[in-house]
Amino acid sequence: MEANLEKEIVLSAIQPTGTPTLGNYLGALKNWKEMSADYTCYYAVADLHSITVRPEPKDLRRRTLEMYALLLALGLDPEQNTVFVQSHVPAHAQLAWILNCYTQFGEAARMTQFKDKSEKHPENVNVGLFAYPTLMAADILLYQAHYVPIGADQKQHLEITRDIAERFNGLYGETFRIPAPFIGKAGARVMSLQDPTKKMSKSDTNVKAFISVLDDKDTIVRKIKSAVTDSEARVYYGEGKDGVNNLMGIYACCTGKTNAQIEAEFSGKGYGDFKAAVAEAVVAELAPVKEAFDRLMADKAYLNECMQKGAQKASYVAEKTLRKAMRRVGFYQL
């Protein structure tokens, strides 16, 4: 345990808005597992973030448990890492309020995700959606994280987190560590199988566009077979070959092969062979996760116990930072 104190700190979170896709897995979750060997890791189910889209209460409850089980199914040891649910640690919402007051309206309004989501859902552009990045900043800063493993789409939120932290530190002295993003090279952006110019998203209305980490073998094979490619029938990485580039990225991530190796492997072969190999690699990658997930979901008592312990461990660390920030701002201490 003592040795843990010297390891650098990693924090990340994922919203319980649906079953994670292969994009979430290769872009973020797979790195979470890999980093857990070398860092002190805090991983959260970001349930507070997920109410910006107003889910059905029973769906939110079920998905929170499922997402938590999935994190353990990745092979994250709940004793070695702190795996918790964001709303179980009140310090997140408390620090987020403070950070709101050190964030300018203009800088939050520039966030691409805010602009995209408010355009897509004009009927519900709530203040929570606008303040999403300050809550995310609180998640990160509370744990004094050195690194934050995320997909490329979240990079801008990391930048605003750094800006807010630097501003606060500048006003009050060192309070927060300035975190760095960790974006894995391959898998940073897995694209939709049906429109490879768009990122693969778990909320896509076309289920053929994404692979869920819990899809069975036949479904994975079918979805990859129907993935959009091009009419050239040659496997190489190149401009205008978004579909093939995407499948190559997925294959590279699952097998560790380079683009040059993949090109050599499929030289003289068509897309049929290539897609079959990609599907097989994806199935091999995801099967152990699905198996562990099914096992964990059958033991709710164990999951609840892990959640409870996770919340306790996370609160201990988070409250220390929160108290420090509150002291600096000038809140009256009892």
Helix H, strand E, coil C: the string for 6-43 is HCCEEEEEECCCCCCEHHHHHHHHHHHHHHCCCCEEEE
Span near ligand LTN by CB under 6 A; candidates 8-16, 98-106, 272-280, 325-333: 8-16
CB closer to ligand LTN, 139 vs 285: 139
Residues 142-171 that bind ligand ATP (CB under 6 A): 150-151, 153-154
What stretches of 192-270 show up as alpha helix (H) in DSSP? Answer: 217-225, 242-255, 259-265
Residues 68-107 that bind ligand ATP (CB under 6 A): none
Q: Which residues fall in the annotated binding site? A: 15-17, 23-24, 139, 151-153, 190, 199-203
Alpha-carbon gap, residue 181 to 147, rounded angstroms: 6
Counting beta carbons within 10 angstroms of the beta carbon of residue 145, is it exposed (0 to 12), middle (13 to 18) or buried (19 or more)? buried
Q: Which does 36 bind (CB under 5 to 8 A by kind): ligand ATP, ligand LTN, none?
A: none
In the residue annotation, 117 being an active-site residue is answered as yes
Applying CB under 6 A, the site for ligand ATP has a residue count of: 21
In the residue annotation, 120 being an active-site residue is answered as no
The binder of ligand LTN chosen from 20, 32, 39, 49 (CB under 6 A): 49
Of 157, 178, 156, 158, give the one whose Cα is nearest residue 168.
Answer: 178
285 binds ligand LTN (CB under 6 A): no
In the residue annotation, 275 being an active-site residue is answered as no
Alpha-carbon gap, residue 247 to 223, rounded angstroms: 12
Q: Is 220 left (phi over 0), alpha (psi -120 to 50) or beta?
A: alpha
CB closer to ligand LTN, 183 vs 248: 183
Distance in Å, CB of 154 to ligand ATP, minimum:
4
CB-based contact 201:21 (threshold 8 Å): yes
CB-based contact 45:67 (threshold 8 Å): yes
Distance in Å, CB of 257 to ligand LTN, minimum:
27
The binder of ligand LTN chosen from 15, 52, 192, 201 (CB under 6 A): 15
Distance in Å, CB of 49 to ligand LTN, minimum:
5
CB closer to ligand ATP, 143 vs 266: 143
Alpha-carbon gap, residue 243 to 249, rounded angstroms: 10
Q: Which is the catalytic residue, given 33, 117, 223, 241? A: 117
The binder of ligand LTN chosen from 136, 190, 314, 317 (CB under 6 A): 136
Q: 204-217 burial string, b = 16+ CB within 10 Å, else e?
A: beeeebbbbbbbee
Binding site for ligand ATP (CB under 6 A): 14-15, 17, 21, 23-24, 27-28, 150-151, 153-154, 187-190, 199-203
